[in-house]
């Protein structure tokens, strides 16, 4: 509730403030009416003491001071466009001059003789022609002064505003002192006397001079505007001079010295300012055309720089950059040579205004040419007299009519993209400005190229990651996802690739009531190994049902694989046929790490056998050298199959895990399930590796015979 009331009170206060503000607007008018009433009184009294005149001037000055805040009501004073400000100043100064000239000569007096009727009519005439003209001339001059303020403060420094305020203060002081010093002093006084009047007069003149030199806006006019403004300055100079010189002898002095002093000061400033502006405009005119051209170039550079950032595709970007480069600085033809860092050579990216024949004949990368020079020296080249520049020899041979060449590097912080060329048939057609322009444009182009490059790179990376993810999922499907449930044996299998995909392989199959365990490793790792791993799986899947001997199975697999494998690749495999009832194990090892037999209550042992990896020999030697062995296990015995990724797992000191350690971590420990033993080994390997990265794919299969 309270807060609510608070808000209402706040609103009420705002309304009150607004009303008060509105009343304030009418204050000057009210004050002026009171003064006019006083004038009427004095008219009849026929006599005005000096004190009354000064007091009356003080109130008239107050009217002006109260008018100053009112300027915010008129949009004309907020105008920021220079041409419109100039138009308004010229218009107002002509009107001020016309009003002043038409009303001059009207005798303004505060004392009159005759009957009441005569006096009244004289006063009315005086008021309508004299007083109102004075009001109008002053208001116009005040407005011009406010408009000039916008010009003076254009592109201002902090001191500019300070100087302008000082001028305003000096003018007010001068007006007060003028009134104090009296009509005669104001009419005939000079700034060269050591009186307060002379000093304040001098101060105003000095500050007028200081402020009149602030004409930064001239630079921002185009050639046509400069001409028009220059031609109109004499009009303003004439109008302001007329008012400035006429004011001392005019009726306005009779009406109010303060007002006359203000009008004199304002018109003097207008005169000085228009004179300075006129002179400066005259000095600007000869270079206006070139200045305009450069301004247009800068503006188009901005627009073009923005537009190239929209192109993200490289070839499109090259085309656009070259096209726009020809626009930025007017060139007869332009082309872009792209640098290929990998092969250290330049290729033509894009060209404009060149025929297909010329494009194909362009001398790219001629050791002593411009492109190399730009690449080496981190600089740009302006060859205005192409005939005398050694670097353009090849270019001139290619295109005889080349007169001038301009070449800038397109480079970002860490990358050199290429060289942007602009060429003209006429000699000496490029200047420092053109070079800077083309360089800024090239810098923008480099950012666009960088962005395009980064975008393409991240898209490519994204795509590859996606592909690898799919490959990994596909490969995971090649491995057994669930462990077979077979009475008499307990099985656990585990495989993890070092990269997204790997060359390790294991499978668990049933063949004639026997469990077939196959574990293998394709040489190398990554994608290539993964493809062959899939092939190995396919071959084994086909063969496993046709053979009941592991050595035969491996021999057949070798003959098939040898033909399909790369010369420098091989596959190691270990195959074991396990009879869960008899607890007999027949196994054969083709270059693979031997399996471990861990009989219950005894030491674990490596079950070595002769054998050659698949892919090394076409068949005969393989078959002669790969033996098949048999063992009879007991209840509670374990078999451990693994790939060399396990025994060669390295710790941060690059030491391998090794078979010895594998055997020792198993010895004298009892495990209940295959999974438990598997977890024990994985934990030990993890502990060994600590923070070292995985080096090779890692696979582990454990079989336990039931008790």
Cα 647 to Cα 475: distance, rounded to the nearest angstrom: 23
Instruction: Determine if 126 is a binding residue for another protein (CB under 8 A).
Output: no
Residue 486 to residues 489, 516, 548, 576, 705, Cα–Cα distance (Å):
6, 12, 18, 16, 10
CB of 310 vs another protein, minimal distance in Å: 43
CB of 617 vs another protein, minimal distance in Å: 6
Q: Which of 588, 583, 580 is nearest to 513 (CA)?
A: 580
Instruction: Determine if 588 is a binding residue for another protein (CB under 8 A).
Output: no
Sign of dihedral through CA atoms 430, 433, 436, 437? negative
Cα 572 to Cα 591: distance, rounded to the nearest angstrom: 5
Phi-psi region of 114 (alpha: psi -120 to 50; beta: other; left: phi over 0): left
CA angle 482, 487, 491 (to 5 degrees): 40
Cα 307 to Cα 447: distance, rounded to the nearest angstrom: 12
Contact status, residue 267 vs residue 206, Cβ threshold 8 Å: no
CB of 697 vs another protein, minimal distance in Å: 11
Instruction: Determine if 2 is a binding residue for another protein (CB under 8 A).
Output: no
The binder of another protein chosen from 57, 617, 637, 697 (CB under 8 A): 617
CB of 522 vs another protein, minimal distance in Å: 9
Comparing CB distances to another protein, the nearer of 435 and 629 is 629
Instruction: Determine if 569 is a binding residue for another protein (CB under 8 A).
Output: yes
Query: Which of the residues 539 through 568 are near another protein (CB under 8 A)?
Result: 566-568
DSSP state of 320: H
**Token digits for 117?**
């009727």
DSSP H or E segment with residue 519: strand 514-522
**Token digits for 615?**
């892919």
Q: Which stretch binds another protein (CB under 8 A): 41-49, 299-307, 439-447, 605-613?
A: 605-613
- Length of the chain counted residue by residue: 707
Contact status, residue 471 vs residue 500, Cβ threshold 8 Å: yes
Instruction: Determine if 456 is a binding residue for another protein (CB under 8 A).
Output: no
Comparing CB distances to another protein, the nearer of 617 and 628 is 617
What is the contact mask toward another protein in residues 620 to 639, using x (rule: CB under 8 A)? -xx-xxx-------------
The binder of another protein chosen from 233, 331, 384, 523 (CB under 8 A): 523
How many Cβ atoms are within 10 Å of 91's Cβ, its own excluded? Answer: 12
Comparing CB distances to another protein, the nearer of 493 and 591 is 591
Comparing CB distances to another protein, the nearer of 482 and 568 is 568
The binder of another protein chosen from 278, 497, 524, 550 (CB under 8 A): 524
The number of residues that bind another protein (CB under 8 A) is 24
Q: Which stretch binds another protein (CB under 8 A): 36-44, 120-128, 350-358, 587-595?
A: 587-595
Q: Which of 301, 341, 340 is nearest to 321 (CA)?
A: 301
Helices (H), 640-673: 644-647, 658-666
CB of 660 vs another protein, minimal distance in Å: 12
What is the contact mask toward another protein in residues 83 to 122, using x (rule: CB under 8 A)? ----------------------------------------
Q: Which stretch binds another protein (CB under 8 A): 283-291, 312-320, 459-467, 569-577?
A: 569-577
Cα 450 to Cα 410: distance, rounded to the nearest angstrom: 10
Q: Which stretch binds another protein (CB under 8 A): 61-69, 125-133, 284-292, 584-592?
A: 584-592
CB of 647 vs another protein, minimal distance in Å: 10
Contact status, residue 643 vs residue 519, Cβ threshold 8 Å: yes
Instruction: Determine if 591 is a binding residue for another protein (CB under 8 A).
Output: yes
Comparing CB distances to another protein, the nearer of 430 and 532 is 532
The binder of another protein chosen from 171, 615, 677, 688 (CB under 8 A): 615
Cα 490 to Cα 508: distance, rounded to the nearest angstrom: 12
CB of 304 vs another protein, minimal distance in Å: 47
The binder of another protein chosen from 42, 176, 308, 616 (CB under 8 A): 616
Comparing CB distances to another protein, the nearer of 57 and 617 is 617
The binder of another protein chosen from 179, 211, 593, 699 (CB under 8 A): 593
Instruction: Determine if 572 is a binding residue for another protein (CB under 8 A).
Output: yes
How many Cβ atoms are within 10 Å of 483's Cβ, its own excluded? Answer: 15
Please provide the DSSP assignment of 123-180 as one string.
Answer: HHHIIIIIIHHHHHHHHHHHHHHHHHHHHHTTT--HHHHHHHHHHHHHHHHHHHHHHH
Rg (CA), the chain: 50
Residue 123 to residues 6, 255, 395, Cα–Cα distance (Å):
54, 12, 90
Contacting positions for another protein (CB under 8 A)? 523-524, 566-570, 572, 590-593, 610-613, 615-617, 621-622, 624-626
């Amino acid at each position: 509730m309270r807060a609510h009331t608070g808000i209402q009170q706040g609103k009420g206060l705002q309304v009150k403030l607004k009303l008060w503000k509105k009343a304030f607007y009418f204050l000057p008018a009210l004050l002026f009416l009171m003064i006019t009433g006083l004038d009427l009184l004095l008219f009849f009294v026929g006599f005005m003491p000096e004190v009354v005149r000064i007091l009356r001037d003080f109130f008239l000055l107050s009217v002006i001071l109260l008018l100053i805040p009112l300027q915010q009501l008129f949009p004309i004073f907020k105008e920021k466009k220079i041409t419109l400000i100039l138009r308004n100043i010229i218009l107002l100064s002509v009107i001020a001059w016309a009003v002043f000239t038409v009303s001059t000569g009207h005798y303004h007096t505060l004392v009159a003789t005759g009957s009441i009727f005569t006096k009244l009519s004289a006063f009315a005439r005086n008021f309508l022609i004299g007083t109102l003209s004075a009001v109008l001339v002053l208001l116009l001059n005040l407005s011009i002064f406010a408009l000039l303020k916008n010009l003076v403060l254009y592109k201002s420094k902090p001191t500019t505003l300070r100087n302008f305020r000082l001028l305003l203060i000096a003018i007010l002081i001068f007006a007060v002192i003028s009134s104090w010093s009296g009509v005669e002093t104001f009419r005939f006084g000079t700034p060269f006397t050591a009186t307060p009047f002379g000093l304040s007069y001098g101060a105003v003149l000095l500050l007028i001079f200081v402020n009149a030199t602030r004409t930064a806006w001239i630079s921002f006019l185009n050639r046509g505007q400069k001409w028009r403004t220059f031609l109109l300055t004499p009009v303003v100079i004439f109008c302001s001079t007329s008012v400035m010189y006429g004011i001392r002898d005019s009726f306005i002095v009779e009406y109010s010295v303060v007002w006359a002093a203000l009008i004199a000061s304002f018109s003097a400033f207008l005169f000085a300012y228009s004179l300075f502006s006129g002179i400066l405009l005259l000095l600007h005119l000869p270079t206006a055309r070139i200045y305009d051209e450069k301004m247009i170039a800068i503006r188009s550079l901005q627009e073009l720089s923005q537009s190239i950032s929209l192109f993200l595709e490289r070839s499109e970007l090259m085309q656009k950059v070259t096209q726009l480069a020809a626009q930025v600085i007017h060139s007869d033809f332009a082309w872009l040579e792209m640098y290929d860092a990998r092969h250290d050579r330049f290729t033509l990216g894009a060209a404009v205004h060149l025929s297909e024949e010329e494009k194909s004949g362009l001398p790219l990368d001629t050791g002593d040419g411009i492109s190399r020079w730009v690449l080496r020296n981190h600089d740009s080249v302006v060859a205005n007299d192409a005939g005398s520049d050694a670097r353009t020899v090849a270019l001139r041979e290619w295109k005889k009519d080349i007169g001038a060449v301009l070449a800038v590097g397109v480079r970002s912080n860490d990358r050199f993209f290429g060289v942007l060329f602009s060429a003209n048939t006429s000699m000496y057609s490029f200047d420092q400005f053109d070079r800077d322009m083309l360089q800024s444009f090239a810098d923008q182009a480099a950012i666009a190229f960088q962005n395009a490059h980064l975008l393409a790179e991240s898209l490519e990376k994204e795509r590859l990651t996606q592909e690898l993810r799919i490959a990994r999922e596909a490969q995971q499907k090649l491995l057994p996802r669930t462990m077979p449930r077979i009475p008499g044996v307990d099985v656990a299998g585990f495989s993890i690739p070092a990269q997204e995909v790997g060359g390790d392989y294991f499978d668990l199959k049933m063949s004639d009531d026997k469990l077939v365990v196959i574990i293998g490793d394709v040489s190398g790792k990554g994608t290539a190994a993964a493809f062959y791993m899939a092939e190995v799986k396919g071959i084994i899947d086909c063969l496993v049902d046709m053979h009941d001997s592991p050595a035969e199975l491996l021999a057949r697999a070798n003959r098939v694989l040898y033909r399909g494998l790369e010369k420098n690749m091989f596959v190691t495999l270990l195959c074991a046929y396990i009879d869960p009832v008899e607890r007999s194990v027949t196994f054969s090892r083709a270059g693979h790490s031997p399996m471990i037999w861990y009989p219950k209550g005894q030491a674990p042992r490596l079950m070595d056998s002769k054998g050659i990896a698949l892919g090394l020999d076409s068949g005969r030697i393989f078959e002669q050298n790969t033996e098949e062995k048999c063992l009879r296990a007991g209840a509670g015995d374990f078999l451990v199959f693994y790939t060399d990724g396990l025994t060669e797992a390295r710790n941060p000191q690059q030491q391998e895990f090794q078979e010895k350690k594998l055997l020792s971590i198993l010895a004298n420990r009892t495990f209940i399930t295959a999974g438990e033993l598997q977890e024990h080994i994985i934990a030990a390997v993890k502990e060994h590796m600590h923070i070292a990265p995985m080096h090779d794919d890692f696979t582990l299969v454990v079989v336990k015979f039931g008790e």
